[in-house]
Amino acid sequence: MESIQDAIRTGRTALGIELGSTRIKAVLIGPDHAPIASGDYTWENRLENGYWTYDLADAWTGVQAAFAALAADVQARYGLPLATVGAMGISGMMHGYLPFDAQGRQLAAFRTWRNTCTGQAAGALTALLGFNIPQRWSIAHLYQAVLNGEEHVGRIAFLTTLAGYIHWQLTGKKVLGVGEASGMFPIAPDGCDYDAARLQTVQAELAAHGAALDLRAILPEVLPAGAAAGSLTPQGARLLDPTGTLQPGIPFCPPEGDAGTGMAATNSVAARTGNVSAGTSVFAMVVLEHPLKAVHPELDLVTTPSGRPVAMVHVNTCTSDLDAWVGLLGQMAQAIGKPLTRDELYRLFYQQALAGQADAGGLVSYNCYSGEPVLGLEKGCPLLTRRPDAPLTLPNLARSALYAAMAALKTGMDILLKDEGVRLDRLLGHGGLFKVPVAGQKLLAGALEVPVAVMQTAGEGGPWGMALLAAYLTEKADGEPLEDYLARVFAEAEGSTIAPDAADSAGFGRFLAEYRRALPAEQAAAQALL
């Protein structure tokens, strides 16, 4: 207790704040890198005028609430106000579209990664650059706005991401970490900046469509992990903590995306390492030894926070439908007078999934809450279907719901591991899918046919990873690479690894075959209902 109190007083701490899809969370770590306090705030995206979006006023409400809850946690645990920290960093959902004019005024509603309305632009840019540009990427959103003839385009002075925006408001610096920047525009092979030749190519293409934009000027500056990225200004301190307790001057590391913080939180930044972040969305990140042989629309090429090349399989929806089924069971328990806690419900549901038939008994579940480019779905809606002879049991339903959260990910991972022959020693799992021990980990190992490890810190996720990147800013030895620093941090980390089970792999294979055969039903349902 005394050592933690001393660390809080003297600022030997690091703070990470992450704006996730459903939760904004702040995590404070001490000198041993273990969390010592946290706070969070729940929020939801909205579908407005055809775009999935969040209001930036809601973002500030959430950031302030998460920080206030963190400060209250520090006060309650250690009897101290939170007046300073040693370093801090901001992370958030990658990609999307946040344009501002020269006066800093927002020009269009925030268009998040979830939108699948940029197919024309993404396809054209992919062909033009010989580099896969997914629909989520900021440059795809910008080009689509140009193709749509949107009036605001000519007034854009700055284009950034959600993490970049919050960082800018707190520090005055228009910068991004290289991992986050790699979801805006392709990064050069050396991992230090945007690809200059491709910038010129796209700028000429935009000009040909009447948009006289200087891409270099409107995109944020790119910084590697460990670089100084400004400090908390007096205005930023009051914005983050309206009580005035938090003092300005705190150094900031570069803002990163949730993919980068996931890599940091799982020590997956060296070649042949990888991680799976499974929550509202799911993405797998595999650090590459060599360039890929071909361009694949199912695979993003991004970077680690230090600029190493990474192949990313991104799927828009993971646990949302699973959460809905668990909620339904909770309503049933409540209705019969035997209410269960949220944790009890999830444990029960996951245990039932392990008891289900290896192939879910003929139940086929789709968890698509929006379009899913990996599957070729422009629109999506949740759907459960089965053959007439398929037994509708709770174990099979539970297993089909977990399998649905993994099916689209499997499509992209097969291209990476089988078609491209990428070598991967193991995947580190983190996020909501792994909060219940064993079940999600075991089924994912079987589905992907790769050992899946989960550390005790898996539940901490991205905000903790952001705090580690902030700590790297002030703690790294002279010239120490991020890989070596994280190796020190994780030297005594505890966890478990589960190898693929042959029966699970075979069962998932049968489930996936039926899942793919029934995709036209999912397409028809989305077309009819949406």
Confidence of residue 435 (pLDDT cuts 50, 70, 90): confident
Among all chains, which residue has been given the structure tokens 């139940």? Answer: 363
pLDDT tens digits, 476-494: 999 999 999 999 999 878 7
9-13, 206-210, 375-379, 382-386: the lowest-pLDDT one: 375-379
Instruction: Give the whole-number percent of the chain exceeding pLDDT 70.
Output: 99
pLDDT of residue 174: 98
- Tens digit of each residue's pLDDT (9 = 90 or more) over 287-345: 999 889 999 988 999 999 999 999 989 898 899 999 999 999 999 999 999 999 999 99
Question: What is the distance between the terminal CA atoms of the chain, rounded to a whole angstrom?
Answer: 55
User: CB neighbours (10 Å) of residue 64?
Assistant: 17
**Domains and their CATH numbers in the chain:** 95-160+185-218 (3.30.420.40), 257-314+424-498 (3.30.420.40), 320-411+505-529 (no CATH)
DSSP helix/strand/coil, 314? strand
CA dist 7 and 35 (Å) reads 12
Q: What are phi and psi of 433, to 5 degrees?
A: -60, -20
Question: Does the pLDDT value for residue 103 go beyond 70?
Answer: yes
Q: What does the DSSP 8-state code read for residue 391? A: -
Please, which pLDDT band fits residue 507 given cuts at 50, 70 and 90? very high
Please determine, for residue 365, whether its predicted confidence score (pLDDT) is greater than 90: yes
Confidence of residue 457 (pLDDT cuts 50, 70, 90): low
Rounded to whole angstroms, how far apart are CA atoms 244 and 239? 9
Structure-block tokens of residue 365: 């579940």
Predicted confidence at residue 458, as pLDDT, reads 58
Q: Which residues contact 270 (CB under 8 A, 6 or more apart)?
A: 287, 308, 483
Backbone angles phi, psi at 176, to 5 degrees: -145, 150
* Confidence check: pLDDT of 5 > 90: yes
Residue 410 pLDDT more than 90? yes
pLDDT class for 376, splitting at 50, 70, 90?
Answer: confident
Q: What is the mean pLDDT of residues 372-384?
A: 90
How would you label 377-390 residue by residue, b for 16+ Cβ within 10 Å and e otherwise? bbbbbbbbbbeeeb
Strands annotated E in 207-257: 221-223, 256-257
Q: Which amino acid, 171?
A: T
- pLDDT of 364 > 70? The answer is yes
CB 26 within 8 A of CB 476: no
Helical residues (DSSP H) of 79-195, grouped into ranges: 119-129, 138-147, 162-171, 178-181
> Is the model's pLDDT at 248 over the cut of 80?
yes
Which of 29-33, 432-436, 487-491 has the largest mean confidence?
Answer: 29-33
Q: Is the pLDDT of residue 460 over 70?
A: no
**CA-to-CA distance for 7 and 200, rounded, in angstroms?**
48
Q: Express each pLDDT in 261-280 by its tens digit.
A: 989 988 999 888 898 988 88
Taking alpha carbons only, the member of 294, 448, 315, 293 closest to residue 372 is: 315
Please check whether residue 365 is in contact with residue 519, taking contact to mean a CB–CB distance below 8 angstroms.
Answer: no
**Which pLDDT belongs to residue 191?**
86
pLDDT of residue 278: 85
CA-to-CA dists, residue 26 to 17, 63, 148, 400, 463, angstroms: 4, 8, 38, 33, 6
DSSP assignment of 314-361, as one string?
Answer: EES-SSHHHHHHHHHHHHHHHHTT----HHHHHHHHHHHHHHS-TTGG
Mean pLDDT of the chain: 94
- What is the Cα 514 distance to its own chain's centre? 29
For the segment 80-103, the average pLDDT, to the nearest whole number, is 97
Task: State the Cα–Cα distance between residues 244 and 81, nearest whole angstrom.
Answer: 11
Which among 149, 153, 93 is positioned nearest to 120, based on CA atoms? Answer: 149
d(CA 57, CA 64): 11
Q: What percent of the chain has pLDDT over 90?
A: 83
Tell me: the pLDDT tens digits for 163-205? 999 999 999 999 999 999 999 999 999 889 999 999 999 999 9
